[in-house]
Homo-oligomer: A and B are copies of this chain.
Amino acid sequence: MKVRVTVMLKEGVLDPQGKAVEHALHVLDFKNVGEVRIGRVIELEIDETDCERARAQADAMARALLANLVIEDFTTEVVG
């Protein structure tokens, strides 16, 4: 079972990468792009058949390692 953990910077935390990409997209003439935020995805192959259990495990992994809860939030979803 594949679970995807998406980690984004918390609301309000400076996102230097997003800011730079936003600027670059404007330079490339993509004028109607507003805010850009950049995050990480971690795709986990979990040996588990139950969706809920798989997500719960991904959740625990995100808390323990994958996200830095000081500045980041995360979401988990089963993708396959």
A interface residues with partner B (beta carbon < 8 Å) = 6, 8, 18, 21, 24-25, 28, 30, 32-48, 57, 60-61, 64-66
Alpha-carbon distance between A42 and B57 when the two chains are bound, in angstroms: 25
B57 and A30 within 8 A (CB): yes
Query: Copies per complex?
Result: 2
Flag if B61 contacts A42 (CB, 8 Å): no
- Chain B residues within an 8 Å CB radius of A41: 6, 8, 38-41
Q: Please state if A33 and B44 are interface contacts (CB–CB under 8 Å).
A: yes
Residues of B contacting A60 with CB < 8 Å? 30
Query: Which residues of B have CB within 8 Å of A44?
Result: 25, 33-34, 36
> Which residues does chain B contribute within 8 Å of A45, judged by CB atoms?
33-36
